[in-house]
């Protein structure tokens, strides 16, 4: 097996010290007054020989890994997948790589992921958290680690957070249905005690109560990670057992299951039966009629997350945590 190249090999080839090569590899050539001629010579040898530095050894030596850990609920969810892709693109342009994992809303798994990222010496953490990991987040803060929460925040944890006003977004959607004369408005949501989900239900309920239209029988909570067939069956039962003239789906994947249920139940979407889905999806634009949606500003969210992370990493100065809340956009179609 061919022996891996080392910094010593590069130094011998260039006729310079190991320390000089190390400074150049770590971007400190100017800081250490290494001439441009020597720097270019070493960089050419590194390129010609195909030298790849040991990332872990480098992070132990410099204290920086140039890696950011991203922890989300479910990376296959279109919302998280899109955010992750945008963050990855923006971070890479700044010299950082992203590694990410899903918690599946399991506290023990979330704790394990945080510990795994600690062992990888990541420079920063971007987390869509769940209740139960407050102490783990505080421990990272006590270790002076850069942490940004998004999508959902945690009570009692004063830290950078980027999110959306889910209460108002849901309230605006329901108000638009009421203004269209709808009186029996259902909510199909996830049975999870996480803030962005509970805020969506709270916005729905408050507006209906203000108009004396709230009916708890029209709120259907679907177990997290339930299979699609069971979800569709529960939604069909909701429509069969109750008079419903409009429905708000609290996530886009629930909306897709709901549209399947509506088709099987031969319920037509028209002026007499309206549908709004939370988080837009290409499917909603392809259907006839098109489906209205609550759209979160994904690019703005990703931009702000990475801006906060890079800002914290670039300075040792302690700054007050920022709470950045974006409005969602209600897209009414047909």
pLDDT one-digit tens code per residue, 93-105: 888 999 999 999 9
Band the pLDDT of 43: cuts 50, 70, 90.
Answer: confident
pLDDT higher than 50, residue 62 = no
Report yes or no: 79 and 279 within 8 Å, Cβ to Cβ.
Answer: yes
Q: Is the pLDDT of residue 242 over 90?
A: yes
Between CA 228 and CA 1 the distance in angstroms is 50
Name which residue leads in pLDDT, 53 or 131: 131
Least confident of 1-15, 65-79, 131-145, 275-289: 1-15
Residue 209 clears pLDDT 80, i.e. is over it: yes
Residue with tokens 């102490």: 135
Say yes or no to pLDDT of 109 above 60.
yes
pLDDT for 28 equals 76
Inform me whether the pLDDT recorded for 3 exceeds 70: no
What is the pLDDT of the chain when averaged over all its residues? 90
- Structure confidence at residue 60 as a pLDDT band (50, 70, 90): very low
In 10 A of CB 291, how many CB atoms?
A: 25
pLDDT in tens, 146-165: 999 999 888 889 999 999 99
Where, residue-wise, is CATH 1.10.260.40 in the chain? 7-53
DSSP letter (8 states) at residue 150? E
Q: Is 0.85 topped by the overall pTM? A: no
pLDDT at 61 over 80: no
The pLDDT, as a whole number, for residue 2 is 53
Per-residue model confidence (pLDDT) at position 197: 93
In this predicted structure, what is the pLDDT of residue 56? Answer: 47
**Average pLDDT of the residues in 109-137:** 94
Residue 129: band (very low, low, confident or very high) from pLDDT cuts 50, 70, 90: very high
SS3 210: helix
Mean pLDDT of 33-61: 74
Q: For the domain 62-164+299-326, what is the CATH superfamily, name and number? A: Response regulator (3.40.50.2300)
Q: Select from 190, 186, 206 the least CA-distant residue to 198.
A: 190
Q: Quick one: fold of 7-53? A: 434 Repressor (Amino-terminal Domain) (1.10.260)
pLDDT interval class at 1 (50, 70, 90): very low
**Homologous superfamily of domain range 166-295:** Response regulator (3.40.50.2300)
Mean pLDDT in residue range 61-71: 77
Higher pLDDT, 50 or 220: 220
Pairing outcome for strands 329-331 and 292-295: antiparallel
| pLDDT higher than 90, residue 276 | yes
pLDDT at 172 over 60: yes
For the chain, the farthest-separated pair of C-alpha atoms sits apart, in whole angstroms, at: 83
Q: What per-residue confidence (pLDDT) applies to 234?
A: 96
- Decide: 252 and 287 in contact? Cβ < 8 Å: no
Q: What is the pLDDT of residue 181?
A: 95
Give the number of other Cβ atoms within 10 Å of residue 130's Cβ: 22
Q: Round to whole Å and give the CA distance between 113 and 227.
A: 25
Token reading at 246: 């409009």
Numbered ranges of CATH 3.40.50.2300 in the chain = 62-164+299-326, 166-295
Over residues 82-103, mean pLDDT: 92
DSSP at 270: B
pLDDT for position 54: 58
Select the more confidently predicted residue: 27 or 134.
134
């Amino acid at each position: 097996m061919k022996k891996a190249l080392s910094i010593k090999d590069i130094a011998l080839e260039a006729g310079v010290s190991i320390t000089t090569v190390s400074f150049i590899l770590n971007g400190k050539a100017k800081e250490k007054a290494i001439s441009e001629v020597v720097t270019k010579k070493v960089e050419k040898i590194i390129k010609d020989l195909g030298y790849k530095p040991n990332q872990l050894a480098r992070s132990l030596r410099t204290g920086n890994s140039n890696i950011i850990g991203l922890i989300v609920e479910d990376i296959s969810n279109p919302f998280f997948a899109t955010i992750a892709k945008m963050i990855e693109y923006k971070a890479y342009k700044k010299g950082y790589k992203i590694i990410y994992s899903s918690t599946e809303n399991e506290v023990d798994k979330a704790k394990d992921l945080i510990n795994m990222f600690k062992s990888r010496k990541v420079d920063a953490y971007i987390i869509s958290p769940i209740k139960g990991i407050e102490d783990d987040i505080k421990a990272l803060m006590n270790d002076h680690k850069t942490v940004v929460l998004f999508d959902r925040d945690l009570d009692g944890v004063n830290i950078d957070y980027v999110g959306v006003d889910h209460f108002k977004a849901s309230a605006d959607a329901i108000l638009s249905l009421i203004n269209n004369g709808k009186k029996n408005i259902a909510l199909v949501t996830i049975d999870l005690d996480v803030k962005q989900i509970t805020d969506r239900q709270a916005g729905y309920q408050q507006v209906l109560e203000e108009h004396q239209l709230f009916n708890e029988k029209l709120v259907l909570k679907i177990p997290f990670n339930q299979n699609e067939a069971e979800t569709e069956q529960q939604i069909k039962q909701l429509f069969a057992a109750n008079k419903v003239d409009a429905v708000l789906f609290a996530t886009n994947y629930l909306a897709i299951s709901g549209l399947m249920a509506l088709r099987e139940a031969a319920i037509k979407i028209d002026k007499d039966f309206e549908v709004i889905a939370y988080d837009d999806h290409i499917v909603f634009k392809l259907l006839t009629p098109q489906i209205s949606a609550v759209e979160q500003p994904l690019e703005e969210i990703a931009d702000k997350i990475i801006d906060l992370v890079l800002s914290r990493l670039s300075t040792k100065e302690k700054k007050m945590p920022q709470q950045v809340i974006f409005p969602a956009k209600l897209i009414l179609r047909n």
